[in-house]
Amino acid sequence: MQAPGESSAAHLMAQPAMQRVPTQRLELFVLRNFLDAAECKELVDLIEAERRPSTLANHNGDNLFRTSETCDLHHDHPAVAALDQKLARVSGIDAAYGERLQGQRYEVGQEFKAHTDYFEPSHPDYQKYCATSGQRTWTFMIYLNDVEAGGATRFKVVDKIIQPERGKLLAWNNRRVDGTLNAATLHHAMKVRKGRKYVITRWYRERPWA
Ligand SMILES: O=C(O)CCC(=O)C(=O)O
Ligand SMILES: [Fe+2]
């Protein structure tokens, strides 16, 4: 059994067509065709309708660190509610532990430089971000389109590159199996070279999101 807010390799590998990316240093999974073309299109349209410049929780003085645009998705929209439920099933994590779903759009030249999704406990704002709902546990991310060139997600510590592909789900544990934060999850959303890239990210927490 997994703790609330946590997925597990065993749960994920029991999902049809789930693949584990071969590396000892982190739990990283790919599921192709998690969403179909129509589902992806509907979500892209929602992101298009409400995007705003992306922000950073841990701002580090580099204004070019995350240059994409973000859209906070509305969970009362049927397409978003359906995705929320689908993610709950595949992850095994109750949707209540998930932060609000976020869409991201990258134009040519836009990126999100190498970062980890967990919050650094030494950061002055750690309490602000983690006091209520705790640390981020797992990240689930869906690519909503095929990108003409660029836009891959690179896990540089383990030297794995995941190519964007319409409907593909990428999931990883931000911590090691023993619960400690895993710096090998460092990842870089590389620059789009041609076309556009749309993704949706879902970060889960240790406690219900509030
Ligand atoms: O767009 C990607 O490939 C990765 C996005 C990401 O790392 C994030 O939103 O935390
Ligand atoms: Fe990330």
69-120 pLDDT per residue, tens: 999 999 999 999 999 999 999 999 999 999 999 999 999 999 999 999 999 9
Query: Which protein residue has the closest C-alpha to ligand 1 atom 1?
Result: 189
Q: Which value, in Å, is the radius of gyration of the alpha carbons in the chain?
A: 16
| CA distance linking residue 131 with residue 99, whole number of Å | 14
Average pLDDT over residues 34-49: 97
Give residues (CB < 6 A) around ligand 1.
Answer: 104, 112, 117, 141, 153, 187, 189, 199, 201
Enter the tokens of residue 11.
Answer: 């749960």
In this structure, which ligand is nearest to the CA of 164? 1
CATH code for the domain defined by 26-205: 2.60.120.620
Query: How far does the centroid of ligand 2 lie from the alpha carbon of residue 201, in Å?
Result: 8
Mutate to test the pocket of ligand 1, among 26, 199, 202, 204 (most ligand atoms within 8 A of CB): 199
Q: Which residue has the higher pLDDT, 62 or 160?
A: 160
**Residue 45 pLDDT > 90, yes or no?**
yes
* Separation of CA 104 from chain center: 10
Q: Tell me what pLDDT residue 168 has.
A: 98
| CA distance linking residue 170 with residue 187, whole number of Å | 12
In this structure, which ligand is nearest to the CA of 66? 1
Q: Tell me what pLDDT residue 37 has.
A: 98
Q: Tell me what pLDDT residue 62 has.
A: 82
Average pLDDT over residues 133-138: 97
**Residue 64 pLDDT > 90, yes or no?**
no
Query: How far does the centroid of ligand 2 lie from the alpha carbon of residue 159, in Å?
Result: 16
Q: Tell me what pLDDT residue 59 has.
A: 74
Of the candidates 210, 207, 204, 206, the residue with the CA atom closest to the CA atom of residue 84: 204
Instruction: Look at the alpha carbons of 120, 70, 99, 209 in this order and tell me if their dihedral is positive or negative.
Output: positive
Average pLDDT over residues 30-36: 98
Q: Tell me what pLDDT residue 49 has.
A: 92
**Residue 140 pLDDT > 90, yes or no?**
yes
Query: Which protein residue has the closest C-alpha to ligand 1 atom 9?
Result: 201
Q: Tell me what pLDDT residue 56 has.
A: 84
Q: Quickly state the pLDDT bin for 53 (edges 50, 70, 90).
A: confident
137 touches 117 (CB < 8 A): no
User: What are the contacts of 145-148 at 24+ separation with CB within 8 A?
Assistant: 145/40, 145/44, 145/195, 145/196, 145/197, 145/198, 146/195, 147/192, 147/194, 147/195, 147/196, 147/197, 148/193, 148/194, 148/195
How much is the pTM?
Answer: 0.96
Q: What is the DSSP letter of 93?
A: -
ipTM of the complex: 0.99
Q: Tell me what pLDDT residue 1 has.
A: 62
Average pLDDT over residues 172-177: 96
Give the domain ranges of the chain. Answer: 26-205
